[in-house]
Structure 1
Amino acid sequence: MKRLLFFPFLFLNFACSQSDVKFPEKKEVLTSEFSGFENFFPLATIDVSDKGIKDKIHIIFVSFNYNGKENDENFPKNESMGNFTFKIQENGLYKPTFSKNALKIDKSYEKYFIENKKMYLKAKSENKNVFEFIEKFDEPQWWQADETPINSKGEKFKFICQFEMYNIFNDDCGVFVFYDETDKEVKYIHQYD
């Protein structure tokens, strides 16, 4: 069976603050040049000021055209569909570091993309509690080797949360979310069991 590659779906397992938002609109989380793409499914915007972070963290599911290659020319060096970054703009919106070409869906992947979209729309229409399943540890509970990202000054990113995509997408993938104030970036790392 073809392995489906799904990207960040977050269910938060902690008390929500009043400023947390379920299923924010794309224009509220992405820059205008990316908010029109159907590949982005905004799941939540969370307030992590309890960790000393002033920026809101937008959790976005990204559906890529999985072609069996982890790295390609559409991602910056050392990034891939399973390890990608959003730059936080001055207005708080996210801009991916990968190119728009990474979002192209071809015929061979179209049915999986449609499944992703259906799952997202179903969860959104049911107003699913996306704040239910996050695991908020002090440190990531890696499924494989430690992949804590490092910023431009050689410092570790701050760990935000982790979650298992099986809760919605039936994909056995752990997602680890990190934030860096210096470079104003949010990074998603995916590991398989």
Structure 2
Amino acid sequence: MKVHSEDFEIDLFPEIEDVFVPENKGYEDVFFPIYSVKLSDIDERWGDETIHMIQFNEDPYNTETVKYYKDYCKDCMIAFELVDGKYKFKTDLGFFNLTDDWKDYHKQTKESYFKSKESFIKGESDFDPEDLIFGGEPHWWQSDETPLDPDGFPMLFVSEFETDRICNDSCDKKMYLFYSHKHKLVVQIYQIT
């Protein structure tokens, strides 16, 4: 559902096929799209590709998933390649394998996300797109974790979002979205209180 803020056209709760590349089997079980914006709204030189904020809930206690860690996919961080405005995950979905102890938390995240999406579509949500933050400097809850692109330069901060507004994660969690246009690289970091 597209809404307008002061500077952006925002697509809230976009469909999974509008966010991820066609070969996205299994993505719907671990990625929950919150909103999308055109890169040209952030920097007019970047064209009409779209960037997306994604909710996710990986198992912090499953040490077996470390084998799927990559430069930009590790503890509290995930990354995507931007391909024609859609995301391709930068590592294997085994990154999201769950221990039995974490399955209930993941289920809560997924169920509360879809409940929030349904409420928003019905016009019954108090989620206000005007409260979304774009550009400027991130409001870090902990220390500055701005990622560096493959050339060693700080990536551009795009947006931040507190997930408890739409999902029950059993903790306070804020996600930060960064982008490198040169490398078509999207990185999301989260911090908790």
SS in 1 for 2:129: coil
Q: Deviations over 1:145-165 (max 9, x none)?
A: 221111122222111011222
Q: In structure 2, how many angstroms separate the alpha carbons of the residues matched to 1:43 and 1:173?
A: 14
Does residue 123 (structure 1) correspond to residue 121 (structure 2)? The answer is: no
Structure number with greater CO (CA < 8 Å, separation at least 6) is 1
Equivalent AA in structure 1 for residue 167 of structure 2 = F
Q: Deviations over 1:46-101 (max 9, x none)?
A: 12423214331111112223316598111203641411211111x22101112121
Partner of 2:191: 191
Partner of 2:90: 97
Q: Deviations over 1:142-189 (max 9, x none)?
A: 222221111122222111011222323352122111111011011111
Identical amino acids, percent of aligned pairs: 26
Q: Which has the higher strand share?
A: 2
Equivalent AA in structure 2 for residue 84 of structure 1 = I
Matches within 5 A, 1:71-110: 72-77=66-71, 79-89=73-83, 91-110=84-103
Structure 2 vs 1, CA of residues 71 and 16 (structure 1 numbering), >3 Å: closer, same or farther? farther
Q: In structure 2, how many angstroms separate the alpha carbons of the residues matched to 1:74 and 1:138?
A: 32
Deviates more, 1:47-56 or 1:119-128: 47-56
Query: 2:18 aligned to 28, 31, 37, which one?
Result: 28
Structure 2 vs 1, CA of residues 56 and 27 (structure 1 numbering), >3 Å: closer, same or farther? same
Q: In structure 2, how many angstroms separate the alpha carbons of the residues matched to 1:135 and 1:92?
A: 21
Q: Deviations over 1:121-153 (max 9, x none)?
A: 111111144624322351112222221111122
State whether residues 71 and 80 of structure 1, in contact with CA within 8 Å, keep that contact through their aligned partners in structure 2: no
TM-score with structure 2 setting the length: 0.80
Q: In structure 2, how many angstroms separate the alpha carbons of the residues matched to 1:50 and 1:70?
A: 40
> How many residue pairs align between the two structures?
180
SS in 2 for 1:34: coil
Structure 2 vs 1, CA of residues 13 and 177 (structure 1 numbering), >3 Å: closer, same or farther? farther
Q: Which has the higher helix share?
A: 2
- Which consecutive residues of structure 2, in runs of 5 or more, have no partner in the other structure? none
Equivalent AA in structure 1 for residue 109 of structure 2 = N
State whether residues 51 and 86 of structure 2, in contact with CA within 8 Å, keep that contact through their aligned partners in structure 1: no
Structure 2 vs 1, CA of residues 92 and 107 (structure 1 numbering), >3 Å: closer, same or farther? same
SS in 2 for 1:114: helix
Matches within 5 A, 1:1-193: 14-15=5-6, 17-18=8-9, 20-37=10-27, 38-52=29-43, 53-54=46-47, 55-67=49-61, 69=63, 72-77=66-71, 79-89=73-83, 91-127=84-120, 128=125, 129=127, 131-169=129-167, 171-193=171-193
Q: In structure 2, how many angstroms separate the alpha carbons of the residues matched to 1:130 and 1:93?
A: 25
RMSD of aligned Cα (Å): 2.6
- Which consecutive residues of structure 1, in runs of 5 or more, have no partner in the other structure? 1-11
